[in-house]
């Protein structure tokens, strides 16, 4: 009798236990495969998002650097603000290839009625924003006519959600202000799709943040100068410099820790099943030795 026949016979002898054991192993394998696929997909998506930011360094106000970078990466409120004079001191640095300042603000619209409403995100940008993102294209319309016009450019999803077209007006109830839509962007697959862009000066004036910005995106001419550039900004009061490569590394390290934990749980589940099966088989062998009647 060969080993395969013995193994098959043992499986059929205790069908319920065999089914449960095989199911446990299959579940553990499915978890590991799913986790590996998620890990690969998330890494690719994260790298794509960072590449689409268009810069290597982000200057923000003092606070949690990774929270600030995540808010800028994925969009969100709660941003800290810094003086625009910081931008004025950096923009002339000869090591800078492109630099763009922006102001991120959110507005709650109560027009849907009591207990309801929606939160919209507005980003004040200057013309340098487009140079950092040369892939931006328009589905209809175009860019602002001037740096202080009461005009808006909407991301693809924001326009679809609100059913806006070029020439429509957007009323922001929280500031009692109307902006005219002059352009709608094509889908980018980034946070740009869900926001509404305003000229920086207009956003500062309309929302009451004159002389304030929430972030400065910087692309350097030579990446080897990044460490020295960050060091030169270290003593600048009230700001911090975040490298997007550091943000990527930190997020992926957290993801790797979660993957190891989930893998350990899945492995432990499989091992526990195997141990219980060996104990059950050992118990059955002992009972079989004691089964003959003694009379």
64/257 Cα distance (integer angstroms): 21
pLDDT tens track for 196-220: 999 999 999 999 999 999 889 888 8
Number of residues in the chain: 295
pLDDT for 65 beyond 80: no
CB 188 within 8 A of CB 159: no
202/278 Cα distance (integer angstroms): 73
Residue with tokens 């060996």: 278
Task: Return the axis-axis angle of helices 3-13 and 15-53, rounded to nearest 10°.
Answer: 100
Output the six-digit token pair for 258. 């979660």
273/277 Cα distance (integer angstroms): 6
- Average pLDDT of span 4-27: 70
Q: Residue 68 to residues 27, 96, 127: CA-CA distances in angstroms?
A: 38, 22, 23
37/149 Cα distance (integer angstroms): 47
CB 155 within 8 A of CB 192: yes
4 against 195, higher pLDDT: 195
- pLDDT (0 to 100) of residue 112: 46
Q: Residue 102 to residues 67, 87, 90: CA-CA distances in angstroms?
A: 17, 10, 14
Output the six-digit token pair for 82. 């810094």
pLDDT tens track for 158-206: 999 989 999 999 999 889 999 999 999 999 877 788 899 999 999 999 9
- pLDDT (0 to 100) of residue 77: 46
Residue with tokens 């395969």: 4
CB 200 within 8 A of CB 124: yes
- Average pLDDT of span 102-119: 69
Domain ranges across the chain: 3-47+251-287, 56-237
pLDDT for 69 beyond 90: no
Output the six-digit token pair for 261. 């934990």
Helix (H, G, I), strand (E, B) or coil at 140: strand
């Amino acid at each position: 009798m060969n080993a395969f026949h013995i193994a098959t016979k043992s499986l059929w002898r205790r069908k319920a236990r065999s089914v449960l054991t095989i199911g446990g192993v299959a579940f553990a394998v499915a978890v590991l495969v799913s986790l590996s696929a998620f890990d690969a997909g998330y890494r690719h998506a994260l790298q794509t998002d960072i590449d689409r930011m268009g810069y290597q360094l982000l200057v923000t106000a003092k606070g949690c650097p990774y929270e600030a970078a995540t808010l800028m990466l994925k969009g969100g409120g709660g941003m800290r603000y810094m003086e625009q004079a910081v931008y004025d001191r950096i923009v002339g640095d000869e090591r800078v290839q492109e630099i763009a300042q922006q102001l991120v603000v959110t507005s709650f619209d109560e027009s849907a009625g009591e207990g309801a409403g929606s939160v919209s995100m507005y980003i004040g940008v200057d013309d340098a924003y487009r140079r950092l993102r040369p892939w931006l294209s328009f589905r209809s319309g175009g860019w602002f006519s001037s740096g202080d016009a009461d005009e808006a450019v909407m991301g693809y999803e924001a326009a679809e959600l609100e059913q806006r077209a070029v020439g429509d007006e957007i009323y922001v109830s929280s500031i009692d202000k109307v902006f005219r839509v002059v352009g709608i962007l094509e889908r980018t697959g980034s946070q740009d799709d869900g926001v509404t862009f305003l000229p920086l000066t207009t956003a500062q004036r309309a929302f009451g943040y004159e002389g304030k910005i929430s972030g400065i995106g910087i692309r350097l001419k030579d990446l080897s100068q990044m460490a020295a550039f960050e060091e030169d900004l270290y003593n600048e009061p009230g700001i911090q410099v975040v490298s997007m490569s550091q943000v990527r590394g930190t997020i992926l390290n957290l993801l790797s820790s979660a993957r190891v934990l989930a893998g350990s749980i899945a492995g432990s589940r499989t091992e526990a099943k195997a141990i219980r099966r060996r104990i059950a088989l050992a118990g059955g062998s002992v009972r079989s030795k004691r089964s003959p009647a003694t009379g």
